[in-house]
Amino acid sequence: NAGVTQTPKFRILKIGQSMTLQCTQDMNHNYMYWYRQDPGMGLKLIYYSVGAGITDKGEVPNGYNVSRSTTEDFPLRLELAAPSQTSVYFCASSYAGRTEAFFGQGTRLTVV
């Protein structure tokens, strides 16, 4: 069972470059989320989606964009990478708002 799959697992970006973190889930979940994890800070919600075509900002959305064209995919876009975006990024999904979230393995991003 694949669950939530994130690619790539690791990436190094130069300041000002752009990239897309991919996330796909095969559980037919309506809700999807992007979190970032920084040491000693827990996880912070970046963006979330409650269904295809619907996205909304979380706690720390600045510098990121998302889209949700299908139920399965929820890519996260960094347009102008900055050192402050060095972090571990987790994608998650849940069947509905009232159920637990399932997490991917994470993408470790370093911006230099």
Residues found near another protein in the complex (CB under 8 A): 4, 31, 33, 35, 40-45, 48, 50, 58, 90, 92-94, 96-106
Residue closer to another protein, measured from CB, 78 or 92: 92
Between CA 90 and CA 53 the distance in angstroms is: 21
Residue closer to another protein, measured from CB, 79 or 95: 95
Residue 5 contacts residue 23 (beta carbons within 8 Å):
yes
Residue closer to another protein, measured from CB, 48 or 64: 48
Shortest separation between residue 67's beta carbon and another protein, angstroms: 18
Shortest separation between residue 48's beta carbon and another protein, angstroms: 6
Between CA 111 and CA 53 the distance in angstroms is: 30
Q: Which two tokens stand for residue 29?
A: 């979940």
Shortest separation between residue 106's beta carbon and another protein, angstroms: 6
Shortest separation between residue 75's beta carbon and another protein, angstroms: 18
Between CA 48 and CA 67 the distance in angstroms is: 10
Q: In what order do the strands lie in the sheet with 4-7?
A: 4-7, 19-25, 76-78, 64-66
Give residues with Cβ within 8 angstroms of 39, minimum separation 6: none
Residue closer to another protein, measured from CB, 33 or 64: 33
